[in-house]
Amino acid sequence: MEQTKIDRLRALAIPPQKLFIGGDWKAADREETIAVVSPIDGRVLTTISRASAADVDRAVRAARATYNAGSWSKMSPGGRKKILLRIAEIIEARSLELAVLGVRDNGTEIGMALRAEPGSAAATFRYYAEAIDKIYGEIAPTADNVLGLVHREAVGVVGAIVPWNMPLMIGAWKLAPALAMGNSVVLKPAEAASLSLLKLAEICAEAGLPDGALNVVTGSGSVVGEAIATHMDVDVLVFTGSNGVGRKLLEYSARSNLKRVYLELGGKSPNIIFSDAPDLEKAAAVSANGIFRNSGQVCVAGSRLLVQRDVHDDVVERIARIASAMKVGDPLRLDTDIGAIASAGQLQSNLNFLGLAEREGARRIIGGERILEETGGYYMRPAIFANVVQEMTIAREEVFGPLLAVIPFEDEAEAIRIANATEYGLASAVWTSDLSTAHRMVRAINAGIVHVNTYGGSDLTVPLGGHKQSGNGHDKSLHALEKYTALKTAWIQL
């Protein structure tokens, strides 16, 4: 990858964006817009359309019409597979363009963005394309003279609401399996990161996806998100984001047509280092990446570092040294380790948590300062806090920023108690050389993912989903298809 190519793409003007409805680009009903501010320098990049409930209704009607017409829902599995594979090919061919566009929008460092955004999105479309013609119905073991068949059908119209961190990756996690099963989709990107998903709509159309099978409606969550969630003709709603919004979506389902709602919500993930970890330097380095990559704006970030007391000081020193050496700066520079905070509001939220941590008695080891203010962008140094106890706010609430809370523990029982002392249950990790300890911890930790001697990096072959208030349902793996299918029984007397 050449810096000159990145700089050339950085300089490209971005025209005002419209809504993508029924295979065409349309102005919002009221022709209102939202300014897109780049976290790199605080400048306005372009505008997106501020859609209304009427625009959402147009998109849902287009999705339903396409679904009912059968141009996608009744297309042969091989036909759908061919188009999804073509989408993957185009994403791959335009990966640098998509990555730079996304970085300009939300500030993720370019090295990570290339892998996690277009790289992951292409792999996701390819994975579910290959799964399409390998998903079968069932024949039930029935009594004599009866044939019991279980059919798997598309659910109809899927509403998808995705966040501003990694929008292309998470968007693909929703879109690819939903489309693979023959559904039509109405997608709402986050106001702060819509550009790459609007570009994805263009790619899908180029690949031959029928008009109306994918519709992208931008705007505020309080208007567009609510309109999708309360629409009587949306059959399934999928969401990644905050717990507060997730609760509202469940209420909206109850107020409307009782649509199925699947939620991937917040996390306060424990990363547990035992004194017998096979390599403390590796554990510290991987743990630093596990919380500070993308400025901590990752749902599975290892934001609570639990360290056995006899190696606590050693691990804190190692991770502080590693974090101090990370270069924070322009996310479109190849030598940048940590990019920008996604928005001014998120930066201020991070700083508020930092001040609260100090008032509650946590000891700041390094970082936490806002830097590079002269650029106009939103940057802060990664922060590490020690002397943290589980009752402190930074040990209980999701910060969603580059802030690590280090908590000491004595033994396995205390590590389990601290790890599970949270309303969340999304991800976790255990570092140990003892296989028995590893297996006991995997069973004891209440989380959807338990890494052992690593953090992050799981691929599409395994599911991602939360326990407790981290949500329900799963993204990734073949299990994700369950959200987008309905079972129908045929009971046939022979």
Active site residues: 264
Cα 387 from Cα 305, distance rounded (Å): 12
Residue 178 DSSP SS3: helix
Q: At what angle do helices 77-93 and 167-180 cross, to 10 degrees?
A: 160
Query: In angstroms, what CA-CA distances link 450 with 49, 86, 305, 492?
Result: 40, 34, 14, 44
Instruction: Give the pairing type, strands 214-216 and 184-188.
Output: parallel
Cα 32 from Cα 392, distance rounded (Å): 43
Q: How many other CB atoms are found less than 10 A from the CB of residue 292?
A: 28
Cα 422 from Cα 394, distance rounded (Å): 11
Cα angle 209, 171, 39 (rounded to 5 degrees) comes to 125
The H helix count followed by the E strand count for the chain is 16, 21
Cα 246 from Cα 258, distance rounded (Å): 15
Q: At what angle do helices 280-292 and 309-325 cross, to 10 degrees?
A: 60
Q: Which residues of 180-217 are buried (b: 16+ CB within 10 A; e: fewer)?
A: bbbbbbbbbbbbbbbbbbbbbbebbbebebbbbbbbbb
Residue 466 DSSP SS3: coil
Helix (H) or strand (E) holding 253: helix 243-255
Helix (H) or strand (E) holding 203: helix 195-207
Strand ranges for 97-196 from DSSP E: 138-140, 146-154, 157-161, 184-188
Contacts of 69 (CB under 8 A, 6+ apart): none
Which residue, chain included where needed, has tokens 């804190």? 316
